[in-house]
Amino acid sequence: MLKHGFTLVELMVALALSSLLVLGVGSAFISIKQTAGQIKQLETAQEVIRSSQIVLSRSLKQAASALVVDAELLVTHNAATGSVTDCLGQTQTAAFTERFRWQGELLQCQVAAGDWVTLLSGISAAQFNVADQLISVRLASPGLADNFPAADLTGDGQLERFIQLDFALKSQILADNT
């Protein structure tokens, strides 16, 4: 006698195996999606920090002096040796001061007494420190990995993962050595 179809036990076993397979594929998909999100956050953090480094480096390598006042970085330029490019990318031929601040998630710049202009977003905290001819800038951006150092950059008791950028006042160092 020929058997037609499957028994109930065979169907239950097939259903259980299929469910396990679907759960495995689903959890793999979720894991891949989470990893892709973390990679995207890290890419964004790297781009924010790279852009910050470019802007601050351009400004500070031409600076005559720098100091921190009320959590803002004040950068003074003489412009006596020719034209100097400010943080907004404009050429200045006279002495001027730039002010950098962290406001919300924004790094902002002000030239002379002009309006504050947002340079970039995506910064969860920033801290400026000037020690002689060395300027240290700590920037926190969401997505930095756990192997980055953490500190309370805003004074609110929350530890933020940050990267520290150090800049030397090149023009001041050269002027002191001549």
Q: 80: pLDDT confidence band, cut at 50, 70 and 90?
A: low
Residue 112 falls within a domain, yes or no? yes
Residue 4 falls within a domain, yes or no? no
Look at residue 7 and tell me whether its pLDDT is greater than 70: yes
Q: What is the mean pLDDT of residues 59-86?
A: 84
pLDDT at site 24: 94
Residue 3 falls within a domain, yes or no? no
The alpha carbon of 2 is separated from its chain's Cα centroid by a whole number of angstroms, namely 71
Torsion sign across C-alpha atoms 61, 65, 68, 73? negative
Per DSSP, the three-state class of 60 is helix
pLDDT at site 81: 60
Residue 143 falls within a domain, yes or no? yes
- The Cα–Cα gap between 10 and 145 comes to 48
Q: 174: pLDDT confidence band, cut at 50, 70 and 90?
A: low
Domain residues for 66? 9-176
Give the list of residues 6+ apart from residue 119 with CB closer than 8 angstroms, or none.
51, 52, 55, 87, 106, 107, 108, 109
Residue 1 falls within a domain, yes or no? no
Q: Which residues pair with 139 in a beta bridge?
A: 126, 163
Q: What is the mean pLDDT of residues 38-51?
A: 87
Residue 84 falls within a domain, yes or no? yes
- The Cα–Cα gap between 89 and 131 comes to 26
The token duo for 114 is 């002009």
pLDDT at site 149: 92
Q: Which among 63, 82, 85, 89 is positioned nearest to 74, based on CA atoms?
A: 63
Number of domains in the chain: 1
Residue 2 falls within a domain, yes or no? no
H helix or E strand, kind and range, residue 86: none
Q: What is the mean pLDDT of residues 4-27?
A: 91
pLDDT at site 79: 64
90-133 pLDDT tens trace: 888 888 999 999 888 899 999 988 899 999 888 888 899 998 88
Per DSSP, the three-state class of 41 is helix
